[in-house]
Amino acid sequence: MSTDVESRPADASGTFALGGDLPVNRLGYGAMRLTGAGVWGDPRDPDEAVRVLRRAVELGVTFIDTADSYGPFVSEQLIRTALHPYADDLVIATKGGLTRSGPGEWRPLGRPEYLRQQTELSLRHLGVDRIDLYQLHRIDPQVPLTDQLGELALLREEGKIRHIGVSQVSVAQLKEARELAPIVSVQNLYNLANRADEELLEYAEAENIAFIPWFPIATGELARPGGPLDAIAAEHGATPAQLALAWLLRRSPVLLPIPGTSTVAHVEENIAAAGITLSDSEFETLSGAA
């Protein structure tokens, strides 16, 4: 008979309480890769996408990241198809503020009426009365930040959003955002090989703000044979992707990695990384390896 840790490996990643009141297992799942090429349209194999989502939750994932713009709407609708009615402990974070005009095309739009419309659409597509975590996908430089976050703060007061987050911001922008609305999370590019946002991570850690590092295994680049982690991974009987994730979990208690994948095999491999505990010297070696 399997133990809980074996059947729900994500539990071993520890928990973080978003906004102090919404606990999630730290190792989550990013649902951007469930769409067609260029994050546009339907996936080639929608049944596998549903299986990936269900398997992630079976393995103990309680935090799923998506966005209205993934598809657009395809990722949110797949989450609903696969998982609704949602488990009580499942937290779904979505985002709004990027428009789509074709594969690989993304443009910010932060006008309040657009953010309101997108929130309403996400509520409908996810099939929820309130969004657990709504992230401003990008700050729109053409619109005053006070208008963008002011609208999200209003939606929060109206009960349509529980918590607000921001994405791809500087420390200065995060500080400015916090003056306009309560911000519980920041989602920026961060992985073992790209640590340009160390200062932001340190600020988030000091303020107990969740830091959701996107691109945690860098499109498999960190995991490729002969890549920076290959040799060390072989020594530890783990895969390079697992080491990249274990390193993030060890780096800071506010990091909530959301590896994305379109396959059940990779979701199983990635979530198993929660069970890897790196020693101090392994952590240092990895920190210097990439």
Ligand X SMILES: NC(=O)c1ccc[n+]([C@@H]2O[C@H](COP(=O)([O-])OP(=O)(O)OC[C@H]3O[C@@H](n4cnc5c(N)ncnc54)[C@H](OP(=O)(O)O)[C@@H]3O)[C@@H](O)[C@H]2O)c1
Known catalytic residues are 70
Contact between 60 and ligand X (CB under 6 A)? no
**Which residues are CB-contacts of 167 (< 8 A; sequence separation ≥ 6)?**
95, 135, 136, 137, 138, 186, 187, 188, 214
Out of 99, 262, 285, 287, the residue judged to bind ligand X by CB under 6 A: 262
Taking the least distance from each CB to ligand X, the nearer of 62 and 187 is: 187
Q: Which of 140, 153, 164 is nearest to 19 (CA)?
A: 164
Q: Does 56 bind ligand X (CB under 6 A)?
A: no
Least Å distance between CB 21 and ligand X? 23
Contact between 227 and ligand X by CB under 6 A: the answer reads no
Angle at 89 (CA atoms; ends 84, 93), nearest 5 degrees: 70
Other Cβ atoms within 10 Å of 268 Cβ, number = 16
The terminus-to-terminus CA distance of the chain in angstroms comes to 39
Residue 283's Cβ-count burial label (10 Å; 0-12, 13-18, 19+) is middle
Q: Which is nearer to ligand X, 75 or 156 (CB)?
A: 75
CA 196 to chain centre: 18
Nearest approach, Cβ of residue 41 and ligand X (Å): 16
Binding region for ligand X (CB under 6 A) out of 41-49, 76-84, 197-205, 252-260: 252-260
Lay out the site mask for ligand X across 2-21 (x = CB under 6 A, - = otherwise): --------------------
By CB under 6 A, is residue 258 in contact with ligand X? yes
Window of 121-129, 150-158, 201-209, 266-274 that interacts with ligand X by CB under 6 A = 266-274
Query: Closer to ligand X at the Cβ: 158 or 198?
Result: 198
Residues 230-249 interacting with ligand X (rule: CB under 6 A)? 241
* Rounded alpha-carbon distances, angstroms, from residue 26 to 49, 64, 167, 274: 22, 11, 18, 9
If binding is defined by CB under 6 A, does position 269 make contact with ligand X?
yes
Residue 223 sits in the site that holds ligand X (CB under 6 A): yes
With residues binned 3-state (H G I as helix, E B as strand, rest as coil), the percentages for the chain, rounded to 5, are 45, 20, 35
Q: Measured from the CB of residue 253, what is the shortest distance to ligand X in angstroms?
A: 19
d(CA 185, CA 48): 30
Task: Give strand pairing partners of 90.
Answer: none
Spatial contact of 217 and 244, defined as CB atoms under 8 Å apart: yes
Q: Which residue is nearest to ligand X (CB)?
A: 30
User: CA–CA distance from 94 to each of 5, 79, 85 (Å)?
Assistant: 28, 11, 17
Options 69, 122, 148, 167; binder of ligand X; rule CB under 6 A: 167
Q: Which is nearer to ligand X, 147 or 221 (CB)?
A: 221
Is 93 one of the binding residues for ligand X (CB under 6 A)? Answer: no
Q: Cβ of residue 18: shortest distance to ligand X, in angstroms?
A: 16
Residues near ligand X (CB under 6 A):
30-33, 65, 167-168, 187, 214-220, 223, 241, 258-263, 266, 269-270
